[in-house]
Every structure is written in structure tokens, then in C-alpha cells.
Structure 1
Amino acid sequence: MGHWLQRNILEPGKLPLLLALSAFVLTFVITRTVTRLIRAGKGPFGNVEAGGLHIHHVVPGVVLTVAGGFGALAGRQGPGSGLFAVVFGVGAGLVLDEFALILHLADVYWTEQGRQSVEVVVVTAALVALVLAGFVPFGVDNLSQDELQDRGTVIVTVGVNFLLSLLALSKGKARTAIFGVIVPVVALVALVGAVRLARPGSPWARRFYRRRPHTRARAGLRAYRHDRRWTAPSRRLQDWIGGKPDPQPARLPGRRP
């Protein structure tokens, strides 16, 4: 365990990634906590406004992301790389916390559409954590001949996983597709997603089920049963992480933290 930790997490080349991931997750947690306090009218926090214009936290997030990204590219190994990694992680956390706002070009933070921000943050953190833990065949130098041979095998595996994930994605199974690219074990799940019926409305269903009403009906029934089983637990988890959406339409700009 100690050797694995030293090799995959504490390796010098991966320290900036660890710092960026930590800053990313911590920023998201702090941001959600502050916005929920403002929403509830508790604590000393309040909206940031300039000349009557509400400044969403995606704005400083973009500035920090740009500064951290370019600083990391321009800098060298050392304390500076760690600092820029933290700046980038903070900025990315602020930006992705309002991903739904960028996607819809509307203030949907406390609506059903706003759940997309939480999903994107969770998936991003999980994928970066997998990369940090060594679940990709890239990023480690000075390998022996045997390790290089193993790397080639893993690269082929990742390529197959990627193809399966593309097929699963075309069938409307985005989460399975994303994780299938990174983790070989999840490729078994991606394979199941690739061979099973597509979700209604997915590109695969629109292309291949258009003249197959029986298959289209089966796909709709399977999606209904799946959603009925998993939607409620998923909603409870999202509410716990990001806050419960408003039952009414989105609030006017300047009223939402």
C-alpha cells in the first residue's frame, strides 16, 4: 500500500494534480456551503454586486482558471507549479459549480437544470482522482522494459474501452461511457451499456429504432423502470451535496447567491 501510494499519489510529477484536485473539491464544498447559507439568510455572507449587477462566482472562477492554467504552462517545476495548480483548482471549482448557468445561459442554479452542475463536478472529481491514482497508462517516466510492455497492453485495453464507451454514449448512457474510458473494470459495465437497449431520445434510438416500434416501446419501458428505481436515491444524494432546488421557477438575477 505504501509503495502504491508513493508511486501513484506522492510521485513528484503528480503533486500539482493532487493540489489542484484538493483545491477543486474544497472550493466546491465551500462555495455550496456559502450559497446555501445566503439562500437561507444565515451568516455574514451576501451576494456580490457592482453597480446593481450581480456578479456570479463563475466570473472570478474564469479569471483564476485562466491565470492558473497559463501560469502552469509558463512556469517550471517547483513551488510555483504547486501554487498555480491550486489557483487553477479553485478557479475550476467556481466555474463548474455554475456549469448549468453557462450551459443554459440562464440563472438556473436552484432549479432542476442546476443539478447538472453537481453532476459535472462529481464526475470531474472522480475522473481526476482516477488519473491521480494511476488508472491511466500515461504520465510516469523511467519505466523498465517489462513496464513498457505492460503499458502497451493497457493502452490497447483503454482503446477498446473507449470504443465501447462511445457506443454506450450513443445509447444515452453518459456516466457509464465516461467511467468506461478510464477504468478497465468499468469497461464490463460499458460493454453491458453498449449491447443493451438504448435510452429513448438517444442518437442510437433515433437512428435505429425509428422504424422498430416494438423495440422503441421496450426501450421506453426499460428506461421507465430504471428511472423509477434510481431517480429518487440520486435526487436525495444531489440534494444533500448541492441543495434542494426551488419548487418555483428560477429567481430573478441578483436574488440568487
Structure 2
Amino acid sequence: MGGWFRENILDAGKLPTLLALASFVLTFLITRTVTRLIRAGRGPFRNITPGGMHIHHVVPGVVLMVVGGFGAVGSGRYGVAASVCAVVFGIGAGLVLDEFALIVHIHDVYWSEEGRQSVEVVILATALASLVLSGFSPLGVDTLSPDEREDRVTVVATLVVNFLLVLITLAKGKLRMALIGVLVPFVAVFGAVRLARPGSLWARRFYRGRHRARARAALRSYRHDRRWDRPRRRLQDLIGGAPDRAD
């Protein structure tokens, strides 16, 4: 285990990435635990409200991300400074993405149905960071041979094609698949060839006069949501807490 860690993490310069991911996940879990205790009125924790104004934890999160990010850029992949900056950045990212829904809606939706977006984004960010840590390079360049790497035309073509597939997947209303497809080209190919989700940009543009395609897309979307919506909500509630019930 020690030899594997040294070869694949330390020697490969991935220790800052590992520390950033670990601090990101740990910060998110601790933050959610604290906010759930505050919500339940248990423990010594309280909201920070100087002068009656509620300071959301996204504020210190942004500061930590800026400090850690610039520090990491200037530190490289090795050394104590790089590791420290990675931890600072991970903590800041955990605080910011925990309130991702607030940034999107410009409103405190932390315990509302819209607040589930924060949990979903954190799960996606963790998955993407784990893929990078495990060896995936953006846009599938790691799949090229040494000879192909020397051929810049091949490299650029690979980047462009995968980027277009990601855009098509995104236009078809499949955000999760598009994000993962940036790192795993097969996912982008799969998302690009499948039917678009109803209401997506692709469906509005290309399914307007295709009634059968619209019907198939609606049926597939309904079956997918019916199958996966309840398990996804249970996972989100387990990680981030159930939202408040609408009156």
C-alpha cells in the first residue's frame, strides 16, 4: 500500500489533489452536520448574524477559495505550500458549493426543495475530482498514444470533437452526463446520441415538428424520473437533510 501511494500519489504530484478532495468532502459533511444541528436547535451552534445580518458560509468560502487557488497556482504540485493551499482551497470549495443553490437563486433556499441542487452539485464535484485523481485527463487526451500526442492535429481534433459532444449533451438537457463527459468521452458520446429531455434547447429546436420524437422523449424522461427520482431524493436527504415541507 505504501509503495502504491508513493508511486501513484506522491511521485505523480497528486497529493495536493487528494488533500483538496478530502478537505472538500470533510468540510461539506461537517458544515451539513452543523447546519442540521442549528436547524434542530441542538448544540452550541448558532447562525452568525452581526448587526442582524445573516452571514452565509459561502462568504468565507469564497475568500478561502481565492487564497487557496492563487496559492496553489503559484506553488506547483509538490511541497508543503502546495499541500496547505490545496487544503485551504478544498475547505473554501466545500463551504461555497454547500450553498450553491443560494448562488443560483440569489435567495436563501438552503432548506427548500431548490436547495437539493447544492447536494447534487457536491456529489458531482466529488465524482469529477475522484476521476481526475484516479488518472483521467480532461477531454480524453490520456487515451492518445505517444505518437498521437506528437501529432497536434490529432490532439486538437480529439479535443474539438469531445467538446462538441459535451455541448450537444448539455443542449439535450443532460447536465450530469455533460460534466462527466468532459473527463470520460464515452459518457459524452452516449449522452449526445440519446434522445433529448423534453423542454431542453435541443428538443425545442429539433423536435418541434417531430411528434413521435417528442412523445418518445417525454415517455423516456418520465420512466427515467419515476425510476430514479425517489432513490436520488433519499440519498440527498441522507447527505444534506430533508428540505422543509411546503405549506
Which TM-score band (shorter chain)? 0.7 to 0.9
Superposition RMSD in Å:
2.6
Distance 1:124 1:195 in 2: 24
Q: CA deviation at 1:126?
A: 1.1
1:199 is aligned, of 190, 197, 200, to 197
Partner of 1:212: 210
1:69-218 equivalent positions in 2, closer than 5 A = 69-75=69-75, 77-136=78-137, 148-149=146-147, 160-184=161-185, 187=186, 189-218=187-216
Q: Distance in 2 between matches of 1:121 and 1:137?
A: 19
Supply the distance in 2 between the matched residues of 1:107 and 1:160 (Cα, whole angstroms): 39
Residue by residue, what CA displacement relative to the aligned partner does 1:91-114 show, whole Å, maximum 9, x if unpaired?
111001001001100000011111
- Cα pair distance change 1:41/1:72, threshold 3 Å: same
Which residue in the other structure is 2:244 paired with?
Answer: 246
For structure 2, which runs of at least 5 residues remain unmatched after alignment? none
CA distance in structure 2 between the partners assigned to 1:2 and 1:21 by the alignment: 20
Query: Normalising by the residue count of structure 2, what TM-score does the alignment of the two structures yield?
Result: 0.87
Cα pair distance change 1:137/1:105, threshold 3 Å = closer
Q: Deviations over 1:100-144 (max 9, x none)?
A: 001100000011111111111111111111111111179xxxxxx
Partner of 1:17: 17
Partner of residue 64, structure 2: 64
- Percent of pairs identical after alignment? 65
**CA, structure 1 residues 11+159, in 2 after alignment: closer, same or farther (shift >3 Å)?**
farther
Distance 2:178 2:138 in 1: 18
Letter in 2 for 1:200: P
Q: Of Structure 1 and Structure 2, which has the larger fraction of its residues in helix?
A: 2
> Bigger CA drift: 212-221 or 91-100?
212-221
Give the CA deviation at 1:71: 2.2
Q: Map Cα deviations across residues 33-75 of structure 1 (whole Å, 9 max, x no partner).
A: 1111111111111111100111100011111111112222344
Structure 1: gaps of 5 or more residues: 139-145, 250-257
Q: Distance in 2 between matches of 1:152 and 1:169?
A: 31
Distance in 2, matches of 1:130 and 1:179, equals: 9
Distance 1:126 1:204, change over 3 A: same
Residues 191-219 of structure 1, C-alpha deviations (whole Å, 9 max, x = no match):
33222211011110011111223321221
Pick closer, same or farther for the CA change 1:49–1:86 going to 2, 3 Å.
same
CA contact (8 A) 1:137 1:151 kept: no
Q: Give SS of 2:122's match.
A: helix
- Give 1:152 deviation, angstroms: 6.5
Verify the 8 A CA contact 2:27 2:95 in the aligned structure 1: yes
1:7-46 to structure 2, matched below 5 A, reads: 7-11=7-11, 13-46=13-46
